[in-house]
Amino acid sequence: MKFTVNREKLQKALQKVGSTIGSKNMLPVLGNVLLKAENNTLSLTTTDLEIRISTNIEAVVEEAGTCTAPAKKLTSLVGCFVGSDVAFNIDDKDHIKIKCGTSSFTLLGLPVDDFPVPANFEAKQEIKIKENELKRMIGSISYAASFDDSRKILTGILISMRNNMITLVATDGKRLAMQDKMPEQLTGGDNDVVIPLKAALEMRRLLEGDTVMTVKVGEKQCVFAAGNFELSTKIIEGNYPNYRQVIPQSFIRSITVPSALLLSKIETVSLVLSDSSSFIILDIDNNKLTLKASSSEVGEGSDIVEVKYEGEPLQISFNPAFLADPLKNCQADNVVLKMNDPLNPVVIEGNEGFLYVIMPIRKK
């Protein structure tokens, strides 16, 4: 196996696939990147058995073949090299000889047969959507997913396909974020699948263009193909909660607030909070939204936002981090807060199909 590749392109490709490489792999070969050279193309693949990422770059292939190389060591070396091209020469004992400029190294690979092969996959649904749209959707809701493995299904992101619309949902049981979007195309009928949060965040990291990508949904796997990379992930099994049921059907109060302004006020007032006092009060009355916070260890503070509101006075308390998260991520200039009373769910709506549900804190 013998080939030459551009150093900068190789470095970017290794960075693209390297995130699945962990420091404590049960199988040594999972710390390696699979290199396959043929038809003047080098493909690079890594996997952690849950997520598999592949990408391709141009190469001058003298002898086609496949090998596995220690991913982190190879990435570090390529990052230190000075020359413009990197030449590889791999023998039948998996000795990987690498030359770039004045540098010359040999890395010890592992047998290709040890590297996990991709699972059989048959798509049931197929979604065509622009890369930047999916990136935006993931970013607007992913923070609301749970990190508690006791409810595994909530640690993932729901992709719901209904009536030519896709909805991404994340919830930890205390708040819920959802984002609707009509894709370029949706075929295969209705379905719901849950992908791991890690896979969703990997997709957000990798997506960078505005071209149309393809999402293929199978029985146990989901495959995302965009540009010159492909990511496949296992689907989390189980029944996702009926997220529509937690959204109130009507509201008697609402205010519209500039997102950046409200976020700034929340962060400023929250500075007086300590670990033992974890709520912020929103006092809405007479065209004013007053934010208040206090703690016995630090002190107290308040700030005001002018709003249009002429209804009955309302005082409602929230976890400040939960209240700030959608404002940081929904990419809306203004948000609408819809409320009924201090005890029932509050909805925050942004633009382009974004909706967030948060439960108020009941003060003792």
pLDDT at 298 (0 to 100): 86
pLDDT at 277 (0 to 100): 60
Write the DSSP symbol of residue 243.
G
- Phi first, then psi: what are they for 220, rounded to 5°? -130, 0
> 2-114 with 125-244: one CATH topology?
yes
One pLDDT digit (tens) per residue for the chain, 364 residues: 999 999 999 999 999 999 988 766 679 999 999 999 999 999 999 999 999 999 999 999 999 999 999 999 999 999 999 999 999 999 999 999 999 999 999 999 999 999 999 989 999 999 999 999 999 999 999 999 999 988 999 999 999 999 999 999 999 999 999 999 999 999 999 999 999 999 999 999 999 889 999 999 999 999 999 988 999 999 999 999 999 999 999 999 999 999 999 999 999 999 999 875 689 999 999 999 999 998 878 889 999 999 999 889 999 999 999 999 999 999 899 999 999 999 999 999 998 899 999 999 987 5
- Rg of the Cα atoms in the chain: 25
pTM for the whole thing?
0.92
Residue position matching structure tokens 């708040």:
175
Residues 159, 189: contact at Cβ < 8 Å? no
Burial class of residue 120, CB neighbours in 10 A (0-12, 13-18, 19+): exposed
CATH of domain 2-114: 3.10.150.10
- Which residue type sits at 55? T
Rounded to whole angstroms, the Cα distance separating 55 from 17 reads 7
- Residue ranges per domain, the chain? 2-114, 125-244, 247-358
CATH of domain 125-244: 3.10.150.10
Rounded to whole angstroms, the Cα distance separating 324 from 262 reads 8
pLDDT at 24 (0 to 100): 61
- Which residue type sits at 107? L
Rounded to whole angstroms, the Cα distance separating 174 from 146 reads 9
Residues 81, 100: contact at Cβ < 8 Å? yes
The tokens describing 49, both together, are: 């058995």
Angle between helices 320-329 and 131-141 (to 10 degrees): 170
Work out whether strand 95-100 and strand 156-162 pair parallel, antiparallel, or are unpaired: unpaired
Q: Of 143, 156, 183, which Cα lies nearest the Cα of 321?
A: 143
CATH of domain 247-358: 3.10.150.10
pLDDT at 25 (0 to 100): 65
Count other Cβ atoms within 10 Å, centred on residue 306: 10
